[in-house]
Structure 1
Amino acid sequence: MKLDVNDYTYDLPQEKIALYPLAQRDQSRLLVYHKGAVTHEKFTNIAAFLPPDASLFFNETKVIPARLLFQKETGAEIEIFLLHPIRPSTLLLEAMQVTGSCTWKCAIGNLKRWTDNITLVKKINNLTLQASLENKQEGIVTFTWTNNVSFAEIIQRAGDTPLPPYLKRNSEELDKERYQTVYSNQEGAVAAPTAGLHFTATVFESLKQRNVAVDFLTLHVSAGTFQPIKVQDPLDHVMHQEQVVVSRENIENLLKGKNIVAVGTTSLRTLESLYWFGAKLLVNPGANFTISQQDAYTYNEPPTSTAALQAVLKYMDESEKQKIVGETSIYIVPGYTFRIVNALITNFHQPSSTLILLVAALIGDDWKKVYHEALLNDYRFLSYGDSSLLIPK
């Protein structure tokens, strides 16, 4: 398989990028791609365009205020961007509840101004947060704080909303609410699953009226989601790893579902990763729930989706688990065969990105038609932009 990144780019004028959300979430526009045809709708009407017997799977991760700004006594500002926890737990759910001290891998702005022996201090009302550089090269930072409160509460008080870099603006008060889905529940993402930003109570009611099944799983979106492909052959790109949490109920609903619609690329990557975990279990019952970017391309005779999902259920039965936590670096590119997902709800993505390749894997070269139509009709692009419903031929 030969790919060229130049085949997955397009011209995105700066003025097409939505810098702010619309006043009402569900009033965004919806481009519907179905059987090769494109129509233009309002997102609030999405229920009418879903496949029959659709089951929607949402990513209920919650964005954490991952940007922490510290000021040295000299006045120099150091930005610490939380990437993923290291100690005392690598599980985001547990890491958020830690009290007293924890260690994270971070991206650090103005790192050259932070010498190893300097402890940064940030005071927030009656709390004091300290940051010590444990490994400068690796970006490993240990945080300690006063009072018996969780790390989640600390960063809620001390941190800023981590807006995507392409918005080129500082976060504002409105972003605390709007760069979050209305159903966000599990803290741990450093970027929003933006396909879900359009959903409101009104839209959920319309889904209910049409007997559309809904379910919620978790992929904690990492900063790697914004990383462009910088090599000519996209297969040489190193995919970022993200933590996923899947429940027994998720798997049972997948087994009885007919038309599986992923709300966002993160939900899609979770569902397809779940399939490959099941495929690995059928070969090796002791396999770990870790999906590499190559795993989906190494099987000569992949199992049916039913067999793979039932293997995961068997694994959960034997280990007496109601939920499983895994890591995925799944890389979905043209040539990939979708095992679980039948349709996708998603925003419009950056040129030369892994997400464009994912869309191209789903609808083929028609991704160019979809993006041409969106540009021609003044759709708003990227995180705060408009939406699309993509149903492959």
Structure 2
Amino acid sequence: MVRETTRRRFLTATGATVATTGIVGTASGAGRGTSERKPDPTRYAAFNVIELETEQVQEPGDEQAEAAARIVQEVRPDVLVINELTNNMQEGKRTDRTNIDAFVENYLSVPQRDDLEGIDYPHTLQPESNTGVLPDEEYDFNKDGEAGQRPGDAFGFGVYPGHYAFAIASRHPIEENRIRSFQEFRWDDMPNNLIVTEEEADDDAELYLTPEERDVYRLSSKTHIDVPIDVDGDVVHGLFAHPTPPGFDGSENFNGQWNHDEVRFFADYVAGAEYIYDDSGETGGIADDASYVLMGDMNAGPRTDRPLDPATKYLFDNDDFNTRRLPTSPGGAQRGNPYATRFGGDFEGVVEQIDYVLPSPDLSLQGSSVVWPSRNASKRGLGDDVSTASDHRLVWADIDA
């Protein structure tokens, strides 16, 4: 059962306020933490560094990793999630240290330009991902006639285990004994889910699940995870996920409906849905009085022309997330969408708003931005870095507890 009163409605009813003074455009973190200022808010950032793999981060000198590190060193986030960073422990390569630790040691902690400073992240987490992970028994999830084959028959699309995973780096302690992961949560256990079933599939359907497949198929294409972070004595829950892209299927819209329910999951979680269970067996959603920040590439933009619109339904029209003031950039504005966080990629010319840093309504949003300079900007070469690092742009928000 979901709570009837959302957090934001409660705050409104009790007279609490939410600060939404914004900072737009590309901004540097220079000068943060000086003695002449009041204590800085915590800066949270989400960055999809497209398909950053083990060989790139385990040794210094990779062009893409260096460009991504320069952007991070400009912004200087306190809490950072990197989407599409391979989980090398699952992959089985270079297992003496995680890829997130290698990225911190080889790139983020080392100044990537003369005018930049390195950043040390003493607390890191590299959750296991469903990408490339095959079930114990063989299933033909992608209906190509061959069961048990990667990438299409894995729980999440991946050429190998841990492909397209994500990782978290934090300057604040992570309360590891309170982490809740939902990697193994079954899609069929979500009430009113949008699974394309064998019974519903027509002759033209490319993807659907048989009754046997529904018994094992997982909701999360990577993982959903709640990571409590101790921010100067206050606990803020980082809610991290990377739902599957809503495409690459047929008229049945299997991936679009999967994406819809992946986005829905954390909306249900913060509303206290009782159907939820984590990988340790604990049931229910987040505590009523918890503070949280949703972070990552949701692969869902608001008010798009897709048949489903989970971003509007579960994020923008949901009082449990503060979306009243959203980050913008000059680069996105020049391309027709100041809120955009992704450009080009597999869909040349597409400009999308799909990466988010969204606080709970009890937290105070002080400012935010998308790091995307205008075409004619020449600020220390950052324009070249954003295109070298990824087709996504880093998104950050300054948030007070």
Q: TM-score, normalised by structure 1?
A: 0.25
What TM-score results when the alignment is normalised by the length of structure 2?
0.24
Q: Between Structure 1 and Structure 2, whose CA radius of gyration is higher?
A: 1
The structure with the greater share of residues assigned to helix is: 1
More strand by share: 1
